[in-house]
Every structure is written in structure tokens, then in C-alpha cells.
Structure 1
Amino acid sequence: MAPVTATFRFYEELNDFIARPLRRRSFSCVCPPAATAKHMIEALGVPHTEVELILVNGESVGFERILEDGDRVAVYPKFEALDIRPLLRVRAEPLRMIRFVADAHLGGLAQLLRLAGFDTLYDNHYADAAIEALAAAEQRIVLTRDRELLKRRTITHGCYVRALKPEAQLREIFGRLDLAGSARPFRLCLTCNAPLRRIEKEEVADRAPQGVLERHTQFVTCDVCRRVFWEGSHWRRMRALMDAVVDGVHAVHAAPPAAGGAQ
């Protein structure tokens, strides 16, 4: 089979992934025989998880569409202000539950997502293959700053994280995935990702400083790491951060709990 030539145009932030001379304009590209839309989009540098809509000759298609000579391919990221669900062809269905797996560079973001109540797996020793397997087995959204990871075949949902600082990353993910309505802060342990539960004050007598026991009456614990947390100054800063992110106002400083408890 002879190669075919198709014309491509990438929109908005997808241009961040492609070669600078090709950004924000239409360009022709020679495609291998029987190349799919997914193959060519990723060959040009864009992970398939970043793509929300593909139009070939004006018609919405899936990643598996075989490109033909003369095709005009328009590739779009998530639409912020327009509901395009009736047009979508690139994924079979959305994920029912929002769960994440974060790569080795996103430990701070993983903690903040747990703070917001989102089940987030993280281990700085995870290999790419392990992340891919977890995403497929548990239907998790992959969070990474490695675009090659997002090109792996079995990863269907993922986000390339552009921001560099954890709080900015949290706001980015909240905005891109519209997470504000799903946030349930202070539900998970920041260290273990396990559910927190209420515990009676009498049960923490030997697990919290005496001064804390004198000033506070409500406590929660993680049954995995057995840490105890209370509504101290760290908790108030984290509450302020969550309120700022959820409400879409300016950032405020927040710090995760220190080892052994929240002060």
C-alpha cells in the first residue's frame, strides 16, 4: 500500500506538544499505509489521553479511524464552554468513579488530591508499566509530566500536568476535570490513601501530645499508619486551601500534616 498524505490542525493547548513550526496552523504530513488517527496524533507528539474530539473531513471519528489520502484532520482538547458530548467518538464512556494514579514526579499533587478526598495511588518507585497496569485494572486516571507514558496503548484516561508546583497542579486538575463538585476533603489519609475514621478522645490518650488533648475534643485516625489528626493550625490552613480551590478564588498557603498529627 502506498503512503497517504493528510492535513492536520491541532487546537489550543495541544499545540504545546507538537513541533514549534507546526503549531496553530494546518500542515500536511505523509502517513504510513493504514495509519490510524491515534497513531498519527501520537507520532506528532500529542498523547491520546489529551484529545477530546477528532474531526476528519468535518465528521467526528474515533482513534481507530484509518486515514486516507487527502483527509483533513482537526484535533481538539477538552472544550471548556461547549457541551460536545453528542459528538464524542474517542472514548466509549466516562469513568464512573474518579480515581487517580500519579507518577514519581507528582508526590505533592497526590497528597493534595487525597486531602480533597480523591483516591490517589502514588509511589515514587512506580515503573511506567506498573502505572499502566494499575490504570487499566482499576480504571484510574493517570497523572504525569511524562507525555510518553500517556501514549501507552491501554491508558484511556490521563492528564499531562503542566504546572510545576503542587498547589498550582491541584488547581489545574480541578479545572480540567471539573472536580469541585466531587471533592470530599479530609476523608483520606495523606500518607496511606486509606479512609480516616472518627476516634474517641479516650482512645488517643497515648497517641497525641498532652497539650493537644487538653485543647481538642475531636480526632480522626488512619487504621493503616495509626496516625491521629485533629483540627489544629495545619488543619485550618488546609481547610483554607480546599475552600480556595473549590470556590475558585485566589490561592492560600497550606501545608500537609506533620508526621504524628495535625497541629
Structure 2
Amino acid sequence: MSTESSKVPPAPRLAGIRSRWLSAATVGLHDDPEVAGAALVGSLGAGRADDWSDIDLLVVVDDAHLDNYAVLGRLPSGPGMLTAAFDARHNGPRGTRAVSGQHLVDGLPLWVDWHIHPISQAGWPTDSTVIFDRRGFDRLAATFAEHLSADEHEQPTPKGPAEHQALRLALVPIAGKRIARRSPETARMIEFLGGPYAPDASWRQHLAALRQLLDGFAALGLPDSVAAGHAYLDLVKETLD
């Protein structure tokens, strides 16, 4: 773990939920013969994760099956239930797919980003941790972030107002994570979610702004996500108090 991540307050409950979910999902990937390989990317893959880190997975499948795997119902899952899913193909190079989801485990939200790449574009980034590889794919000369930014991206799929609001609701815990990490980007993210831009606010004021946003999102009719958001912010407060 890096020096920077070691300064982040611990949240063993979140780390435990993540570990349980990932262990079960990994078994599901292993058991699917159509998955040619899988790796952890992002902070977990690079070995710089902290207890608050989410899960980023890179999955390689046959080119012809790419779109079949670009739905969370086709990909394996761990314990809990899926509360939100979003097509995120615009986050990947052209010819790849990506999908993001919020899972509710033991009353807390867990965010998972899946990157689905075809065999014709397969390769393991330098900062990834390979889970398994049935084909012996090469290592790339780039990190995962460099790989994603090197090529032209897929066009985003259109989202209506309701889906945009559902996405903002699901991202409230991500903003809460930034509060826990004392990130300088916290104020900008709260603004993106529809709250006030207050870069000089205290962490308690940032939490209050997020709680107000959650109450506003209640009209979307997604009570599980709203409750999970409040539970996450409760955990942030307990950790920082």
C-alpha cells in the first residue's frame, strides 16, 4: 500500500464487503469457459488500494460475444443485490465495452466497474493483477489509464433525465469516499451531483450537502439506493469523528 493510501482512515467493514464480493465474482469468472482471461485493474490491480477503494475488473471474451457480456446480468456477481447499472462504454477504447453497477451488500453500496475487451484487443496493462489467463496474452507497455486514453473512445449511449438522476444518486457514496480521503476534488464532485460548490466547506458541511441531495433523490423511487447512500455517509461520519 502506498504512503498516500496509508494516511486514509481505515474502513474494515467496507474492505470486508469488497473482499467477499470479489471472491465470489472471481469464482464465477473462472467457471465461465467463454471468459478468456480476467484481471484486476485500477487501484486494486496496481496494489495501491485502501479500504474505500471500489472494484475495477478487466474481462477478455471472444469478439463475437463482446456485447453479450456488456450487461451486468451476464457477468458474475458476489453477495447482495444489484441496485443500479449503467452502460459506460464511453470510458473505454473503440471496440471495447464497459458497464458499471452499484451493489448493495449488508446495507452498504459497492461500486464495480467492468471493462470488457475482445480477444483481438487483449493485453494486460503494466499495473494490472491478472486473475487468470487461458490464452497467454501479452503484457502491454502502458498502464491501464494510459491504455484507456490512448485510443478514440466509444460514443456514450444516450441517457434520459431519469437515468442521469439515478446515476447521480449512485455516485453519492463515491463523493462520500472523497470526503473520507479528504480529497481536494470533493467540492467539484458535489457540484456535479447537483449540490453547491463549496471548496472551503468542512467535511461535516460536505456530508450535510450530500444528505440533502439524497433526500432530493428520494423522488426517483429507488429507496434501496437512497438508504445505502445514507448508510455510507453514516460510516464516513463515524470514521472521521
TM-score scaled by length of structure 2: 0.24
The structure, 1 or 2, with the larger RCO (C-alpha pairs under 8 Å, 6+ apart) is 2
Which structure: greater helix fraction? 2
Larger radius of gyration: 1
TM-score scaled by length of structure 1: 0.23
